[in-house]
Amino acid sequence: MEEQQFNVTYKVYQGRNELDREDQVLLEKASIAREGAYAPYSNFKVGAAAILENGEIVVGSNQENASFPSGLCAERVAVFQAGARFPGVPIISLAISAGSDTEPSNEPAAPCGNCRQSIYEYEHKQGKPIRVILQGSQGPVYLINAISDLLPLGFNSSQLNSQ
């Protein structure tokens, strides 16, 4: 038996103002998108903004539903919209801003498992990493170099083609 380990390296910034200008703008777009979230059940709003290789920025916000499985997370709204509106254009970075209406969130919230898998599919398809920028409604910012860092041993299409 051999034991192995996964390690994730990421950068932590004390706040948005430490980021380069492009990342600041992207995170601001995610924060604005968060305000448009429909979250009457959890009161936890999430906004996402993806910048594409062609310079377009596509946003999304979480959309809850009384039938809980029918809602959709902000990250998937943004990534699916990017894929639908700009097929074949790689996503460079995805910024995610998350927080409650009742209390400011000082901790970044990472994408859920479904979102990680969905973003990973796009990363695998485009053959380039998708940087992930995370922040709560305020406080520190985490910068992860690739979604695959957050989903080690991710499932992809190459496994479907094996015989």
Provide the 10 A C-beta neighbour count for residue 86. Answer: 16
Measured distance CA(117)–CA(134) in Å, rounded: 17
CATH code (residue 93): 3.40.140.10
pLDDT in tens, the chain (163 residues): 999 999 999 999 999 999 999 999 999 999 999 999 999 999 999 999 999 999 999 999 999 999 988 999 999 999 999 999 999 999 999 999 999 878 888 999 999 999 999 999 999 999 999 999 999 999 999 999 999 999 998 988 888 875 5
Query: What does the alpha-carbon distance between residue 53 and residue 50 come to, in Å, rounded to a whole number?
Result: 10
Q: Identify the domain containing residue 124 by its residue range.
A: 10-152
In a domain, 159, yes or no: no
Tokens of 40: 């009457």
Domain contains 157: no
Residues 6+ apart with CB under 8 A from 113: none
Residue in 18, 75, 103, 107 annotated catalytic: 75
- Counting the structural domains of the chain, the total is 1
Q: 163 in a domain, yes or no? A: no
**Which pairing describes strands 10-13 and 44-52: parallel, antiparallel, or unpaired?**
unpaired
Output the pTM of the full model.
0.94
Distance CA 155, CA 24 (A): 31
**Can you read off the two tokens belonging to residue 64?**
């809850």
* Residue 57 lies inside a defined structural domain of this protein: yes
Which tens digits make up the pLDDT trace of 8-54? 999 999 999 999 999 999 999 999 999 999 999 999 999 999 999 99
Quick one: DSSP state of residue 72?
A: B
Tokens 């992930």 found at: 132
Task: Determine which helix (DSSP H) or strand (DSSP E) holds 33, and give its type and residue range.
Answer: helix 21-35
Query: Is there a contact between 61 and 34 (Cβ–Cβ < 8 Å)?
Result: yes
Q: Is residue 3 part of a domain?
A: no
Active site residue 35: no
